[in-house]
Amino acid sequence: MRVPLLSQGLSVGRRASSAAADAAGRAALAGLDALLDWRYTDEAVQRVLSSPVADRAVGHALRGPLVDAIARDLTRYAVLERVADELVADEAELERVVGSVVDSPVVQRAATQVLGSRLLDTIVERLLESEELWLMVDEIAHSPAVTDAIGQQSVGFADQVAGQVRVRSQRADAGLERVARRLLRRPR
């Protein structure tokens, strides 16, 4: 008789504690909602973010294993590939993103700095000194595509000149005939 009574008592106790936990959770959420809607919340967040505490927190986070974990997860869940797929699928969005990046003053300043830097001169000098570059240039210059293009351009130019000669000679034919007929008084 005593065992069922004990069991019932325990069950009632568990239900009571569960109900109390639910009530506490709901109260906490209501409190959070109220906190988020509070007019000072934004200001408080801003102050926290601009405080040295935030700097130190970010520093700790970046020094710690968080970055490695993020990198692992980025790879594991193929985050970059998914983002790239989304961008490629939406061509207009891709163009907008690329355009905004290229047009941004930061990128333009960076490009100007790179172009004006000694680094670029050094790279160009090294490239010009490298034998592989000239081998590659030689290879490209002798490639069928390039020689065909040059040949076609030459033929095209010769055709253009010959075409002009033909047009002018026909005009000269007509002009000479008019003169001859006028001189000999032989109208057509």
Residues near other proteins, by CB under 8 A:
162, 165-166, 169-170, 172-174, 176-177, 180-181, 184, 186, 188
Residue 109 or 181 having the CB closest to other proteins: 181
Distances (CA, A) of 176 to 34, 111, 163, 184, 185: 102, 64, 20, 12, 14
- Tell me how far apart the alpha carbons of residues 28 and 30 are, in angstroms, rounded to a whole number: 5
Q: How far is the CB of 152 from other proteins (least distance, A)?
A: 16
Nearer to other proteins, 29 or 176 (CB): 176
Find the angle CA(10)-CA(11)-CA(13) to the nearest 5 degrees. Answer: 65
d(CA 66, CA 59): 11
Q: How far apart are CA 68 and CA 62, in angstroms?
A: 9
Least Å distance between CB 121 and other proteins?
A: 51
Q: By C-beta, is 46 or 170 nearer to other proteins?
A: 170
Q: What backbone torsions phi and psi does residue 186 show, to the nearest 5 degrees? A: -120, 80
Contacts of 97 (CB under 8 A, 6+ apart): 87
Of 7 and 170, which CB lies nearer to other proteins in the complex structure? Answer: 170
Q: Do 132 and 126 contact (CB within 8 A), yes or no?
A: no
Nearer to other proteins, 72 or 181 (CB): 181
Shortest distance in whole angstroms from residue 160 CB to other proteins: 13
Look at residue 24 and give its three-state secondary structure.
Answer: helix
In the complex, the smallest distance separating the C-beta of residue 83 from other proteins, rounded to whole angstroms, is 55
Question: Diameter of the chain by CA atoms?
Answer: 149
Least distance from other proteins to the Cβ atom of residue 170, Å: 6
Residue nearer to other proteins on the CB measure, 142 or 188: 188
Write down the least CB distance from residue 162 to other proteins, Å. Answer: 6
